[in-house]
C-alpha cells in the first residue's frame, strides 16, 4: 500500500499493489485516523466498490481484510438484502451487521437476530424460520479430536452442548450452553483447558436440520477471541450433531494460544435415544396356521419392569398354544423376549427349542414383529405368525 503526497500540498493519493501485479489507485474512506502510516482504519475503493479494509494499530504491521465472496445484493420474499462483504448489511432501508458461516448469514438488526440462507450464484436468499427444538437436552463427545496449544493432535478432549439451559444449569428456553475442553499434558489445569465456556441464544430450523447458536464467546482465530456464532448440523433422527465444516476445519478457544477442536463429523456429538416406556399390557390377534389355513388367535403380552419379566399367552380354539413367562430386554425401540420355548418343527408338538422373540416399538406405540413361533395344543403344533398383526397397548 502506497500513500503519495503531492509536492504542491494537494490531497493524498493511494495505490494498492498486489505481489507481481500492477498498481491500482484506490480511494480511502477513513473510519479512524487520516494517514495509513499511522494508527488508522479505512476502506479502500476502486470504481465505486469497496475492495478491502485497511487497519493499522501503529505497530507497523497493517492488516488487510479483503471483501468477502458474499458481497452483493440478494432478492427473496421480502426486501432486498445487501451485504457489503465486511459485516455490514442493509435490508430494505434498515441497516445492521452480519456474520457468515456455511452459507448462513446471521444478521443483527437492532436487538433482533435473523438468519438468511443465501445462494451466492443466483443472488437469492431464504430467511431461516425458527422451529421448536424437539431433540434431546444434551449432546456430548468424550473423545473429541483436537489439541492444546502446540501439543500434538489427539482424540482425548471433550465437548458438551446443553439446550434450554443457562450456564448455571437453570432452565432457560431458547438458550444453549457450550462447554468444550481440550486435554493438556503440561502439568497445569488438572490436565484440562477450557476451550469454550459460553452460552447464547439458538435458532433451530427443521427443514435444513441446522442449529445456530449466536453470540458465543470463543476464538475467532488461533490468536484472537470474540463473540461469534456456532453453526451445527443435525442428523435426521436428532440424536447427533456436529459443527458445520463448510468454511472452517477447526474452532479455536478463548485462550489465544492456538488450542482447537476439529469441526465436521469427526467430532460428532451424540445423545442417548430417549427412554421408551412400555405399556403394562398389549393384546393382538396374530394368525396361526391351522390345517393349512390362517386363523386368528387371541394373544396377550404383559411386562413387569420391576422384575424385567414378560408373560406371553396365545389362545385359539378354546386351547392355550403359548403360556410363558420369560426375561425381556429393552434397547432403544426394540424389546426382546429372551429364551422363549417354542415348537419349531411342523407337525411336531414334542420337540422344543429356545428362541428370542423380538418386537419393534412403532411410532404409534404398537409392537410389531417379523417372526413366527411354534405353539402346541391338543397334540398338534401350530405356527403363530406375529407379522400378521401388531400387539396394541391396553390403556
Number of domains in the chain: 4
CB atoms inside a 10 Å sphere around CB 265: 13
**Residue 289 sits in the same domain as residue 247:** no
| CA 259/CA 200 separation, integer angstroms | 21
Q: Which residues contact 60 (CB under 8 A, 6 or more apart)?
A: none
Averaged pLDDT score across all residues of the chain = 94
Given a cut of 90, whether residue 290 has pLDDT beyond it is: no
Of 200, 271, 260, 198, residue with least CA distance to 234: 271
**Residue 19 sits in the same domain as residue 76:** no
CB atoms inside a 10 Å sphere around CB 157: 27
Of 329, 322, 324, 331, residue with least CA distance to 307: 329
Check residues 222 and 112 and name the one with the higher pLDDT. Answer: 222
- Residue pair 316/292 in contact (Cβ under 8 Å)? The answer is no
Which pLDDT value is given to residue 154?
Answer: 97
Which phi and psi angles does 316 have, rounded to 5°? Answer: -160, 145
Mean pLDDT across 55-67 = 91
**Residue 352 sits in the same domain as residue 325:** yes
Of 124, 114, 110, 112, residue with least CA distance to 77: 124
Given a cut of 90, whether residue 332 has pLDDT beyond it is: no
Which pLDDT value is given to residue 146?
Answer: 98
Query: For the chain, how far is it from start to end, CA to CA, in angstroms?
Result: 78
**Residue 301 sits in the same domain as residue 383:** yes
Which pLDDT value is given to residue 385?
Answer: 98
Given a cut of 80, whether residue 45 has pLDDT beyond it is: yes
3-state secondary structure (DSSP) of residue 250: strand
- Tens-place pLDDT, residues 65-116: 999 999 999 999 899 999 999 999 999 999 999 988 767 898 999 988 888 9
**Residue 303 sits in the same domain as residue 227:** no
Which pLDDT value is given to residue 276?
Answer: 83
Q: Is 300 a domain residue?
A: yes
Burial class (CB in 10 A: 0-12, 13-18, 19+), 375: buried
Given a cut of 80, whether residue 292 has pLDDT beyond it is: yes
Q: Is 316 a domain residue?
A: yes
Beta-bridged to residue 3, according to DSSP, are: 14
- What are the DSSP calls for 95-118, one per residue? EEEEEEETTEEEEEETTEEEEEEE
**Residue 23 sits in the same domain as residue 88:** no
- Tens-place pLDDT, residues 180-217: 999 999 999 899 999 999 999 999 999 889 999 988 99
Q: Is 326 a domain residue?
A: yes
Q: Is 133 a domain residue?
A: no
| CA 175/CA 234 separation, integer angstroms | 17
Which pLDDT value is given to residue 274?
Answer: 78
**Residue 150 sits in the same domain as residue 103:** no
- Tens-place pLDDT, residues 134-152: 999 999 999 999 999 999 9
Share of the chain above pLDDT 70, in %: 100
**Residue 51 sits in the same domain as residue 150:** no
Q: Which residue shows C-alpha cell 465436521?
A: 264
**Residue 379 sits in the same domain as residue 301:** yes
CATH code of the domain covering residue 254: 2.40.128
| CA 68/CA 232 separation, integer angstroms | 22
Q: Is 125 a domain residue?
A: no
* Per-residue pLDDT band at 306 (split at 50, 70, 90): very high
Question: Which of 119, 153, 187 is a domain's end point?
Answer: 119
Which pLDDT value is given to residue 8?
Answer: 81
Mean pLDDT across 164-174 = 94
Mean pLDDT across 382-389 = 98
Which pLDDT value is given to residue 96?
Answer: 97
Q: Is 225 a domain residue?
A: yes
**Residue 260 sits in the same domain as residue 291:** no
Which pLDDT value is given to residue 1?
Answer: 84
Q: Is 276 a domain residue?
A: no
Q: What is the DSSP letter of 75?
A: B
Q: Which residues contact 130 (CB under 8 A, 6 or more apart)?
A: 203, 204, 205
Question: Which of 235, 270, 305 is a domain's end point?
Answer: 270
Question: Which of 241, 270, 299 is a domain's end point?
Answer: 270
Instruction: Give the residue numbers spanning the domain of 146.
Output: 138-270
Q: Which residue shows C-alpha cell 461469534?
A: 228
Share of the chain above pLDDT 90, in %: 81
Q: Is 264 a domain residue?
A: yes
Q: What is the DSSP letter of 318?
A: T
- Residue pair 241/139 in contact (Cβ under 8 Å)? The answer is yes
| CA 313/CA 391 separation, integer angstroms | 12
Check residues 236 and 274 and name the one with the higher pLDDT. Answer: 236
Which pLDDT value is given to residue 62?
Answer: 92
**Residue 179 sits in the same domain as residue 208:** yes
* Per-residue pLDDT band at 6 (split at 50, 70, 90): confident
Of 96, 95, 99, residue with least CA distance to 85: 99
**Residue 148 sits in the same domain as residue 263:** yes
Amino acid at each position: 500500500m502506497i500513500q503519495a503526497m503531492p509536492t504542491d500540498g494537494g490531497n493524498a493519493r493511494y495505490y494498492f499493489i498486489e505481489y507481481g501485479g500492477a498498481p491500482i489507485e484506490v480511494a480511502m474512506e477513513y473510519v479512524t485516523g487520516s494517514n495509513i502510516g499511522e494508527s488508522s482504519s479505512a476502506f479502500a475503493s476502486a470504481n465505486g466498490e469497496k475492495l478491502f479494509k485497511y487497519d493499522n494499530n501503529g505497530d507497523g504491521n497493517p492488516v488487510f481484510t479483503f471483501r468477502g465472496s458474499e458481497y452483493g445484493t440478494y432478492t427473496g420474499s421480502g426486501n432486498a438484502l445487501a451485504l457489503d462483504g465486511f459485516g455490514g448489511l442493509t435490508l430494505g432501508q434498515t441497516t445492521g451487521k452480519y456474520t457468515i458461516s456455511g452459507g448462513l448469514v446471521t444478521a443483527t438488526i437492532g436487538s433482533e437476530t435473523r438468519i438468511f440462507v443465501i445462494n451466492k450464484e443466483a443472488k437469492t436468499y431464504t430467511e431461516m424460520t425458527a422451529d421448536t427444538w424437539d431433540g434431546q437436552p444434551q449432546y456430548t463427545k468424550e473423545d473429541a479430536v483436537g489439541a492444546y496449544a502446540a501439543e500434538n493432535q489427539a482424540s482425548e478432549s471433550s465437548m458438551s452442548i446443553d439446550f434450554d439451559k443457562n450456564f448455571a444449569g437453570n432452565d432457560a428456553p431458547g438458550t444453549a450452553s457450550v462447554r468444550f475442553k481440550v486435554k493438556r499434558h503440561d502439568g497445569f489445569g488438572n490436565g484440562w483447558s477450557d476451550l469454550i465456556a459460553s452460552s447464547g441464544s439458538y435458532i433451530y430450523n427443521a427443514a435444513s436440520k441446522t442449529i445456530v447458536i449466536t453470540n458465543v464467546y470463543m476464538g475467532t482465530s488461533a490468536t484472537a477471541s470474540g463473540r461469534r456464532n456456532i453453526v451445527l448440523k443435525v442428523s435426521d433422527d436428532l440424536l447427533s450433531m456436529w459443527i458445520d465444516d463448510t468454511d472452517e476445519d477447526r474452532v479455536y478457544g478463548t485462550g489465544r494460544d492456538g488450542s482447537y477442536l476439529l469441526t465436521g463429523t469427526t467430532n460428532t456429538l451424540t445423545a442417548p435415544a430417549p427412554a421408551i416406556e412400555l405399556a403394562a399390557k398389549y393384546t393382538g390377534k396374530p394368525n396361526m396356521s391351522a390345517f393349512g389355513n390362517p386363523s386368528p388367535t387371541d394373544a396377550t403380552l404383559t411386562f413387569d419392569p420391576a422384575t424385567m419379566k414378560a408373560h406371553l399367552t396365545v389362545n385359539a380354539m378354546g386351547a392355550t398354544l403359548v403360556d410363558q413367562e420369560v426375561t425381556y430386554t429393552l434397547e432403544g425401540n426394540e424389546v426382546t423376549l429372551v429364551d422363549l420355548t417354542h415348537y419349531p418343527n411342523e407337525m411336531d408338538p414334542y420337540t422344543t427349542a429356545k428362541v428370542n422373540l423380538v418386537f419393534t416399538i412403532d411410532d404409534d406405540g404398537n409392537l410389531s414383529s417379523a417372526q413366527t413361533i411354534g405353539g402346541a395344543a391338543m397334540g398338534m403344533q401350530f405356527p403363530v405368525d406375529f407379522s400378521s398383526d401388531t400387539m396394541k397397548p391396553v390403556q
